[in-house]
Amino acid sequence: MGADKGDRLKFGAALIEYLQANPEAGRSMPYILSKTLGKKLGSGNLASFWGLLQNLPPSVHEMAARVGFNPGPGLGEEIFQAILQHREGIWIGEADVEKWDHFQALATEDGRINLNVPEMADWIQEIDPEAESMKLQEDAAFPLILRAGRHIDTNANTTMRDPAWNKGRSTCTLTM
């Protein structure tokens, strides 16, 4: 399909043909991308992310153009390449704050945030407060608690930073 040759443009064209012939495969696209393009990129996650970038709505094209990207069919690939080249982070778009309407950006037919996920319906019915409480009881055989994702005044998970801000600090510590 082109993924093994490193030509993502040809791969994308072949992928579109495949999806047109097999529309039911769309729900499995992250898996398909992981097993094809993921091998070339060395990461199933990168491959899935590449796939997401190939179908950007017009509003994202407008926002990306404001920060220097070229809107059009190659925008997803351009953004993906920029991300690979700038692991520290990039701006991929800027909203027009005078015109932006968060609710208009919702892609649902009714313009609402729908929290009903049919695939989770059976699992949600199994949730029982007493059983969940029992699962949270301390186990004497495992008295330690791993605390990950610490939020302290020197980190912010959604902020892009120059790595120099953390120079000399123990950034990969573990709290138990």
56 confidence band (pLDDT: 50, 70, 90)? very high
Q: Contact 6/36 with Cβ under 8 angstroms? A: no
Say yes or no to pLDDT of 115 above 90. Answer: no
Distance between CA 37 and CA 5 in Å, rounded?
A: 10
Location of structure tokens 């012939």:
21
pTM value? 0.58
